[in-house]
């Protein structure tokens, strides 16, 4: 039986972390970066884009720990026009609500 991440999170919140685990700020163990979405009404940023654009839905609807495809793709102009960064293959991607 596969246990969802939400169920694991609920368990830890109610029962605490397993023995031997320590609680750390994420920035102590990883680089934390933010980004922004290119203007979604500007077709120059989205039409015929070749750069995968991962959204929270791409992550939460995925049944694998790896993302091989995204629903949307942006153009280089779209990437250049916003605060997003192109992340290398193999990057651990985490999303949270704003």
Taken in order of first residue, the domains within the chain and their CATH numbers are 36-98 (3.90.220.20)
Radius of gyration of the chain measured on its C-alpha atoms: 17
User: How far, rounded to the nearest angstrom, does the alpha carbon of residue 32 sit from its chain's CA centroid?
Assistant: 11
Rounded CA separation 21/24 (Å): 10
- Which parts of the chain have pLDDT scores under 70? 1-5, 96-98
| pLDDT tens profile 51-67 | 999 888 888 888 888 88
pTM (2 d.p.): 0.70
């Amino acid at each position: 039986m596969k246990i969802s991440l939400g169920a694991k999170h609920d368990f830890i919140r109610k029962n605490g972390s397993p023995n031997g685990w320590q609680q750390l700020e994420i920035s102590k163990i990883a680089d934390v970066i933010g980004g922004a979405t290119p203007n979604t009404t500007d077709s120059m940023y989205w039409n015929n884009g070749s750069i995968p654009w991962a959204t929270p839905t791409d992550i939460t609807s995925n049944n694998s720990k790896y993302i091989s495809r995204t629903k949307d793709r942006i153009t280089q102009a779209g990437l250049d026009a916003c605060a997003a960064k192109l992340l290398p293959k193999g990057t651990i991607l985490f999303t949270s609500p704003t």
